[in-house]
Amino acid sequence: MKFFIDTANIEQIKAAASWGVLDGVTTNPSLVAKESRDYKELLNQIVEIVDGPISAEVVSEEVDGMLREARDLAGIHSNIVIKVPFTPDGLRVTKTLSGEGIGVNVTLIFSPLQALMAAKAGARFVSPFVGRLDDISHQGMDIVNDIVTIYDNYIFETEVLVASVRHPLHVLEAALMGADVATIPFKVLKQMFKHPLTDIGIEKFLADWRNAGKKM
Ligand code: E4P
């Protein structure tokens, strides 16, 4: 299972990369808006830190604008994957870009049928937003399970990228369901380190070592 980090913050990306667990990065307009940096400059820096898929999202809503932005962003580095929203124009763009060999991440997926359509159009990734579904009292992880089943049934190569992750349990469930990727906020990645028995265990080992007067 691949771990992406869901952020446009360089320090967070560097920290996650240093832990040896990072396979890629996802950004979106809201995450980029939090950083006071030029978008392309930011992406240029991210591709130097992480050697894996880096999702960069278009902000135009019609085909021509999306294609113009997508080709421009894809020109930054071969690891850039273009994120497009699940709309009729977004799917047209997905078909065109995948035909040109540019990877597309179809985002804002809230149903298994949307994911099926995105895969048929040639998406490299689909991003079901599990946290936002949970927020409206739908079981977000249920659609991940359905998408994994559908893709297995028809042997689609599109990867299921679990997005809008809010807590470590989302990551655990995604792994158990066989999702290909989880894109994880920095806060959740840090939470995944935590176990009280690990902390207590370290404390006890070190106390025993010190009390015995041992030296390294
Ligand atoms: C990532 O690709 C998504 O844009 C992101 O996970 C959305 O998360 P949010 O629902 O917490 O904004």
Each residue's pLDDT tens digit, 165-205:
999 999 999 999 999 999 999 999 999 999 999 999 999 99
The closest residue, in CA terms, to atom 8 on ligand 1 is 164
Mean pLDDT, the chain, whole residue set = 98
Per cent of the chain over pLDDT 70 is 100
Each residue's pLDDT tens digit, 23-46:
999 999 999 999 999 999 999 999
Which residues fall within 8 angstroms of residue 69, CB to CB, at 6 or more apart?
A: 58, 59, 60
Question: To test the ligand 1 pocket, which listed residue (5, 6, 7, 31) has its Cβ within 8 A of the most ligand atoms?
Answer: 6
Each residue's pLDDT tens digit, 11-20:
999 999 999 9
| Interval 154-163 mean pLDDT | 98
pTM of the complete model = 0.96
Per 3-state DSSP, the chain is made up of helix, strand and coil in percentages (nearest 5) of: 50, 20, 30
- State the pLDDT confidence band at 109, using cuts at 50, 70 and 90: very high
